[in-house]
Structure 1
Amino acid sequence: MSDPVARRAPWIAGVLVAAALVVVIVMTTPWHLIDLPKPDATLDFTQAEIDRQNQFRHELLPWSTTSWILSLLVPLYIGFSPVGRRLYDVHRLRRWYVAVPVLVAALGLLASLLTLPSDALAEQVTRDYGLSTESWGLWLRDRAVNWALASLALTAIAMGLIALAKKWRTWWWAPAAIAGAVLVLGVSFAYPVLVEPRFNEFTSMAAGPQRDEFMQLAREDGVPVKDVLVADASKRTTTLNAYVSGFGSTRRLVVYDTLLKDAPPAQVRLVIAHELGHAAEGDVLHGTLIGALGAAFAVVLLKLLLGARMADPRRTALLLAMIIAGSALAGPVQNLVSRRIEARADYHSLRLTNDPRDFVEMQHQLSVRNISGLEPSRWRYWMFASHPTSPERIAMARAWGAERGDPVPPLVNR
């Protein structure tokens, strides 16, 4: 093909993929479910509970924020400065397909070591407040597994992009964009089978009334669930949670053992109904589609920014820095969509159970138990909040109940 066509093609593809991504997000995200009153934490949380949450955040956030800043600044500095190419050269490995994995693993290890002190201090805070129960040995083991998995994933991405750019200097981005989208789809299928077992052990819930209730609830909701699994979360945390993992033949309902042990049955049922809402609404597929389009757009953007320079393995650190920068910039949009999706799952739970009173009590108990943020700062809310706050979720349940003649009184007497 002519040079003008080769120059215009990535711009056209980028516009088309970006437009498709925007259309999917705008058209499939549930932007409005119900008119909500202004959330008010003082309606349902005592001053002591609010003060405890504030004190927990006051002690935790300096360390978690330090880790986040370091995890961004270190790779960005290395990647966007000559340091990245010098680190590649220092290996003196003649084969690029050997040097690239070494560099990726080394940079990941460096970032992990630099954030180790602040991460450890943050972990100590969660221990002091009774949220973390894992041993320091298990904590270090989890960090090592995270480093290994991240290094493996980033190595595969970097080597794939470099190899394609070496083979097709001009058009490498086209097969790479397709491969990126397919990779996201594959990870959605494989994650429950290959990654989750690296951190928790899962056992099928024993036959009995509670399992039968969960399966019956799924049938009533029209959601095919392959199995109900219990995760041994208590070896790491005291928090309460459940989730639906995978889709198709890999879909299963996963329940924390802490939830089964410490939450009343009515509240457990509401949590399960929320998770079934994700499956009923196809949220995993929805997220996978957005992720696939996002991956394809990211590859086209790399083409526009790097061009044929992608074939130079000495720019591996720059590639990693651009991936990290892109992930950080995309975070607020991802969280915005996620909060809306989670709100829809809450709405689904209310419709399925018709139990706004227990829903409010459940959200209160979960928030107190998990010491969830009640009123995070605006920038933290946009950057990190993948779920609505507990007062926002309670406000939805209260509005839902009021519409149906079942008002929910405040949990705190004012």
Structure 2
Amino acid sequence: MTARRAALITAVVLGVALVVVIAVATPWSPLPEPPGGRTPLDPTAGLSATELGRAEAFAASLRPASVASLLLGLVVSALLGLTRLGSRLVRAVAAPLGGGWVWQVLLGVLALAVIGRLVTLPLSAYGESVRHRYGLSTRSWGLWLRDVSVSTAIDAGLTALGLLVVVLLARKLPRTWWAWAAAGAAALVVVGSFLWPVLMEPAFNEFEPLAAGQLRSDLLELAEENGTPVEDVLVSDASRRTTALNAYVSGFGSTRRIVLYDTVLDGLPDAQVESIVAHELGHVATDDVLTGTLIGALGAGAGVALLGWLISSPALLRRAGADAPGDPRVIPLVLFLMTIGTLVATPVQNTVSRHIEARADVHALDLTRDPGAFADMQRDLAGSNLNDPDPPAVWQWFYGSHPTVAQRLAIAEDWTRLEQP
């Protein structure tokens, strides 16, 4: 069996395992159907005409730019990855430092990342201006540029290091490099899921403990009742960047903490804050991070094995101007294939995510026993975050990582009907 065929077979086997895990682990029906059937969706979600108009206008302003940015990034990635233009760029940026393969990989990834960011930067700036216009963003343009730069640097740095290892393996182990790289990618997903919240969150926000008081005591008690005690309740300085309302639970074991946006403390009553936190605690109680890590690890392994099959294709290598998978000039092609993989995986990930989020909503209702606070919280979040309560079906299918506001309110109504004696 050739190494290329072995890579394809491995990708198929891991892909089948991924499908099985998704099918088994995803809560396709997190709430039984109540007598009389499901609650019909209210496309307005009970928002006022003013709130509804602002949310729809905000979405209409952003959606074309989001699609344009996606397509433009894809076109630029294809231009660099499927022609010799990318391979020439990789060689050119490394030439001043001697042109060695290590410099070609490191500087090539950096150059390609910067080009990709610069090409879509005007659309990103437009999106930020829309958020400013609607009062959702509070960032200065200097802070926005700093966030873009830090995000680009982190992404480029991690990608460069990862691809450096891939190229090294391909040079040293030309027959089995893809297997080692697939195992390494899966391991990185596992390690990253544990370390990312601790290492990356401080790069963008500062945190301080929530002051002692009734809310802090109630949240700690809620976590205990959930069977998932937390180490602390922190407040993030989110208002430096946004007026959006949010909260989350991050970390594991002794590092687990509830994090509240400071905007939440100013914008919501305590009962609604508890409902948000109960939702986030639901993810912890059902081990959603661990399940997501398993799915991500299998997906990463399958993706890298498939990548090994693809970039061993003589036709693709010729088109990209590279001689072999261990040739650093293959980097633009690899980045293009990663872009395609992300594009294909996004609606699948979001479909799974929507069902997991719905289960967390049910958990929040079970934990707080307060559907009124849950419904009020969803409406307040929709109004403050300018969420379209009933977006177009295609948009929700591709981009929607959470149920729509209308769907979440229907879940609360279904839960209430099921709980009635």
Give the Å deviation of 1:226.
2.0
Structure 2 matches for 1:166-181, cutoff 5 A? Answer: 166-181=171-186
Change (3 A) 1:351 1:259: same
Q: 1:76 aligns with which of 75, 78, 81?
A: 78
Instruction: Tell me what 2:319 maps to.
Output: none
Structure 1 residues 307-351: Cα deviation after superposition (integer angstroms, max 9, x where no partner):
382211111110111111101110000000111111010000000
Structure 1 residues 350-398: Cα deviation after superposition (integer angstroms, max 9, x where no partner):
0001111121111111101100022222221111111111001000001
1-structure distance, mates of 2:263, 2:226: 25
Letter in 2 for 1:63: A
Number of residue equivalences: 403
Secondary structure of the residue aligned to 2:312 is helix
- Bigger shift: residues 119-128 or 82-91: 82-91
2-structure distance, mates of 1:128, 1:13: 50
Structure 2 matches for 1:62-73, cutoff 5 A? Answer: 62-73=64-75
Instruction: Tell me what 2:320 maps to.
Output: none
Q: 1:112 aligns with which of 105, 109, 117?
A: 117
Structure 2 matches for 1:176-191, cutoff 5 A? Answer: 176-191=181-196
Give the Å deviation of 1:10.
2.4
Instruction: Tell me what 1:325 maps to.
Output: 340
Q: Is the 8 A contact 1:53 1:373 kept in 2?
A: yes
Secondary structure of the residue aligned to 1:374 is coil
Secondary structure of the residue aligned to 1:310 is coil
Change (3 A) 1:11 1:121: closer
Structure 2 matches for 1:27-38, cutoff 5 A? Answer: 27-34=24-31, 35=33, 36-38=38-40
Structure 1 residues 241-298: Cα deviation after superposition (integer angstroms, max 9, x where no partner):
0011132343221111111111011101100100100100111111111111111001
1-structure distance, mates of 2:7, 2:106: 28
1-structure distance, mates of 2:80, 2:190: 31
Instruction: Tell me what 2:362 maps to.
Output: 347
Letter in 2 for 1:18: G
2-structure distance, mates of 1:110, 1:277: 40
Instruction: Tell me what 1:226 maps to.
Output: 231
Unaligned runs of at least 5 residues, structure 2: 314-323
Percent identity of paired positions between Structure 1 and Structure 2: 46
User: Is residue 132 from structure 1 mapped to residue 114 from structure 2 by the alignment?
Assistant: no
Secondary structure of the residue aligned to 1:39 is coil
Letter in 2 for 1:82: R
Instruction: Tell me what 1:316 maps to.
Output: 331
Change (3 A) 1:154 1:127: same
Instruction: Tell me what 1:412 maps to.
Output: none
Structure 2 matches for 1:3-402, cutoff 5 A? Answer: 4=1, 6=3, 8-34=5-31, 35=33, 36-42=38-44, 44-91=46-93, 92=95, 93-307=98-312, 309-402=324-417
Task: Name the TM-score, length of structure 1 as normaliser.
Answer: 0.94
RMSD of equivalent CA atoms: 1.5
Instruction: Tell me what 2:318 maps to.
Output: none
Secondary structure of the residue aligned to 1:253 is strand
Q: Is the 8 A contact 1:350 1:356 kept in 2?
A: yes
2-structure distance, mates of 1:16, 1:249: 36
Structure 1 residues 160-191: Cα deviation after superposition (integer angstroms, max 9, x where no partner):
11011111100111111111111011111111
Q: Is the 8 A contact 1:273 1:348 kept in 2?
A: yes
Letter in 2 for 1:385: G
2-structure distance, mates of 1:282, 1:290: 12
Give the Å deviation of 1:43.
5.3
Instruction: Tell me what 1:410 maps to.
Output: none
Change (3 A) 1:43 1:176: closer
Give the Å deviation of 1:66.
2.2
Task: Name the TM-score, length of structure 2 as normaliser.
Answer: 0.92
Structure 1 residues 18-75: Cα deviation after superposition (integer angstroms, max 9, x where no partner):
1211111010110002233332123512222222211111222222332222222211
1-structure distance, mates of 2:253, 2:8: 35
2-structure distance, mates of 1:125, 1:43: 24
Q: Is the 8 A contact 1:246 1:284 kept in 2?
A: no
Secondary structure of the residue aligned to 1:32 is coil
Secondary structure of the residue aligned to 2:228 is coil
- Bigger shift: residues 21-30 or 58-67: 58-67
Secondary structure of the residue aligned to 2:387 is coil
Letter in 2 for 1:195: M
